[in-house]
Amino acid sequence: MLGDVAAGYLTADAIDQAVEVGRRALASTFEAETTMGRVQLSALADQLPASSAAQAFRDEIRASLE
């Protein structure tokens, strides 16, 4: 669910909030070991813009999913 919230922030161009909520989604996904969370995080990584904060979070997501 947090992944969807983060994606919603991206749609609203609220990048900082998307990254903040996305980080919570990342932590929750690996704590609960959910497959759907992994799928949502992968999609979120693909949607993140090229800003430095978003780029760093994209790299963090992809490293975690490997």
Give the number of domains in the chain.
1
Q: 22: domain range?
A: 2-65
Chain centroid, CA 32 distance in Å? 16
Q: Is the pLDDT reported for residue 30 higher than 90? A: no
Nearest-angstrom CA–CA distance, 60 and 19: 11
Q: How far apart are CA 37 and CA 34, in angstroms?
A: 5
Residue carrying structure tokens 């994209």: 58
Q: For residue range 1-26, list pLDDT tens digits in order.
A: 888 899 999 999 999 999 999 999 99
Q: What is the pLDDT of residue 9?
A: 94
How much is the pLDDT for 54?
A: 92
Say whether pLDDT at 51 is over 90. Answer: no
State yes or no: pLDDT of 33 exceeds 90.
no
Instruction: Average the pLDDT over 40-46 and give the result.
Output: 93
**Chain centre distance of CA 58:** 7
8-17 as b/e: b if 16+ CB within 10 A: ebbeeeebee
